[in-house]
Amino acid sequence: MTRWPLPEPMALALDEAMQAARAGEVPVGAVVVCDGEIVARAANSPRRSHDPTAHAEIRALRLAASALGRERLDGCELWVTLEPCAMCAGAIAHARIARLYYAATDPKGGAVEHGPRLFEQATTLHRPEIYTGMGEAEAAELLRAFFKQRR
Q: Is 129 a catalytic residue?
A: no
Q: Is 46 an interacting residue with respect to its own copies (CB under 8 A)?
A: yes
Return the residues of window 82-101 that contact its own copies according to CB under 8 A.
85-91, 93-96
Q: Does 55 belong to an annotated binding site?
A: yes
Question: Quick one: 6 or 87, whose CB is closer to its own copies?
Answer: 87
How many CB atoms within 10 Å of residue 97? Answer: 25
85 annotated as ligand-binding: yes
88 marked among binding-site residues = yes
Binding mask 101-130 for its own copies (x = CB under 8 A): -------xx-x--xxxxx--xxxxx-----
Contact 91, 121 (CB under 8 A): no
The span from the CA of 38 to the CA of 119, in Å, is 25
| Residue 11 binding its own copies, by CB under 8 A | no
> From the annotation, which residues make up the binding site for Zn(2+)?
55, 85, 88
